[in-house]
Structure 1
Amino acid sequence: MREEAAESLRRLNEVVERLRAPGGCPWDRAQTHRSLRPYLLEETYEVLEAIDLDGSETLREELGDLLLQVLMHSAIAAERDGGFDIGDVA
């Protein structure tokens, strides 16, 4: 992976961690795996649609949205005892 890509991923993960931290965004802090399920499904369908339309710019954007979902679910899992984080997923 390019260094800049790794740095971008690290920064995005830091944003997610800040949103979920005490004093972070109340909406993000309230989310669970189950409450985020519809958003994960929606983003997955949007990625599939971008693939079907063969739109690389749209696909790039939708993959970014899906990546945010992966980071959110990993952050939620990391907050549990015995959980995992994005490093375990990657």
Structure 2
Amino acid sequence: MGRVPVGDAGGVGLGSDGWVERDDLLDLIHGGDGGLPLSGGRADKRADRLLAGRIREVHSASGGAYGSPRVTAELRGEGFRVNEKRVARV
């Protein structure tokens, strides 16, 4: 539980203040509907934009030192099910 920073959520409706509930973000990224009516490609893009915000936060918090392997490890430690390829792509 709790809120996590997602930076600019890319106009996806969540995190308009730069923060989103951790469980909502995990549901969206892991394929749960999270109470959202989107599915398929639009939902994937929305999840990627939210994940991108969290990736930027982790990268910035490291002073720009963390690359995709370390960012992936950090996100996994927070409960995200992501792999390095997705972190690098997003």
- Fold similarity call, TM over 0.5: no
Which has more helix, going by share of residues? 1
Which has more strand, going by share of residues? 2
Higher Cα Rg, which structure: 1
TM-score (norm 1): 0.41
